[in-house]
């Protein structure tokens, strides 16, 4: 294994196909309303990357979060049917926002709502891959979410971190960027004063065990575990991935410029 820190960062500039994942907490304010400023910046960043000749796929959550806001509900419905209905409304609204802002930069978007059974049925899997490739050939930005309105437990991806890894694999992406509200992957609860951020990660299995070991660790319960898991799988499939604070989505430019930012899970060579 070759551990050449800066080289492994610099190589990210060569990434042609990039999957960017953004979660609900990054798309909405704490009061539940849509963070249009952040979405606007994200769309501008993606449009500029497309202008550079890169191919970008966006995996975006927010169907339920934005649906709750659209319908002026105080909180998520407790019933499955209620949440699935809210997702149906929120997904429309989310796509309308993306579509409108992307059109300001001359780009069209295409929506893909996926369920896990695309991985089990080879015909569906092939069609999904072909759709991604066709959209990208047409310079259209694919925007992906789980199909929350029809998914049942058996065919759920469960979380969009996992979904983003699946999309990166299906599309043979070079880079997966997971935008979140923490600066990256820490060796222990990031609130501990001596918590250390991992910059480049090469040997994940050992580190994952250490971090997940501490009882009550935020890494295990605060959404970091699913991200790290997605990145480990991506690394095994030869895809570089970065977990980074996406409060300013322009951070994606820094990653591509090889800056030491967030945690890079170096693809297995
Ligand atoms: N698919 C869900 C939504 O759009 C979010 C799932 C996740 O963020 O992991 O609301």
Ligand 1 pocket test, pick from 21, 22, 27, 63 with the greatest ligand atom count within 8 Å of Cβ, gives 63
**Partners of 197 in the β-ladder:** 186
Contact 198, 186 (CB under 8 A): yes
Ligand 1 pocket test, pick from 145, 162, 227 with the greatest ligand atom count within 8 Å of Cβ, gives 145
* Å from CA of 57 to ligand 1 middle: 16
Mean pLDDT (whole number) for 116-122? 93
What's the pLDDT at 216?
Answer: 40
pLDDT tens digit sequence for 138-179 = 999 999 999 999 988 877 888 999 999 999 999 999 999 999
48 C-beta closer than 6 A to ligand 1 = no
* Å from CA of 4 to ligand 1 middle: 35
What's the pLDDT at 217?
Answer: 41
State whether residue 48 is helix, strand or coil: helix
pLDDT tens digit sequence for 9-39 = 999 999 999 999 999 999 999 999 999 999 9
**Partners of 15 in the β-ladder:** none
What's the pLDDT at 208?
Answer: 63
pLDDT tens digit sequence for 204-260 = 776 665 564 443 444 433 478 899 999 999 999 999 999 999 999 999 999 999 999
- At residue 192, does pLDDT exceed 90? no
| CA-wise closest residue to 174 among 226, 241, 230 | 241
State whether residue 167 is helix, strand or coil: helix
pLDDT tens digit sequence for 53-81 = 999 999 999 999 999 999 999 999 999 99
| CA-wise closest residue to 56 among 23, 102, 97, 88 | 102
* Å from CA of 87 to ligand 1 middle: 9
* Closest atom, ligand 1, to C-alpha of 60: 4
pLDDT tens digit sequence for 75-95 = 999 999 999 999 999 999 999
What's the pLDDT at 218?
Answer: 44
Please give the biggest Cα pair distance in the chain.
53
118 C-beta closer than 6 A to ligand 1 = no
Decide the pairing of beta strands 141-146 and 109-114: parallel
159 C-beta closer than 6 A to ligand 1 = yes
Higher pLDDT, 218 or 47: 47
* Å from CA of 61 to ligand 1 middle: 4
């Amino acid at each position: 294994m070759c551990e050449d820190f800066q080289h492994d960062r610099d190589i990210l500039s060569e990434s042609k196909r990039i999957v960017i994942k953004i979660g609900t907490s990054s798309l909405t304010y704490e009061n539940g309303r849509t963070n249009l400023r952040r979405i606007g910046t994200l769309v501008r960043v993606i449009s500029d990357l497309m202008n550079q000749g890169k191919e970008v796929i966006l995996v975006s959550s927010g169907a339920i979060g934005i649906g709750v806001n659209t319908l002026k509900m105080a909180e998520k419905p407790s019933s499955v049917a209620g949440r699935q209905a809210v997702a149906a409304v929120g997904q429309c609204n989310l796509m309308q926002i993306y579509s409108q802002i992307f059109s300001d930069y001359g780009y069209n978007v295409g929506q893909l709502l996926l369920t896990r059974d695309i991985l089990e049925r080879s015909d569906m899997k092939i069609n999904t891959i072909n759709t991604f490739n066709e959209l990208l050939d047409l310079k259209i930005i694919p925007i992906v979410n789980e199909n929350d309105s029809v998914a049942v437990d058996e065919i759920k991806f469960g979380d969009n971190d996992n979904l983003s890894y699946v999309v990166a694999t299906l599309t043979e992406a070079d880079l997966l960027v997971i935008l979140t509200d923490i600066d990256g992957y820490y060796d222990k609860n990031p609130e501990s004063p001596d918590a250390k951020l991992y910059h480049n990660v090469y040997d994940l299995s050992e580190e994952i065990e250490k971090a997940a070991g501490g009882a009550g660790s935020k890494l295990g319960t605060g959404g970091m575990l699913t991200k790290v898991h997605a990145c480990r799988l991506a690394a095994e499939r030869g895809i570089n991935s970065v977990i980074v604070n996406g409060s300013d989505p322009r951070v994606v430019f820094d990653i591509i410029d090889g800056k030491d930012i967030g945690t890079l899970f170096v693809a297995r060579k």
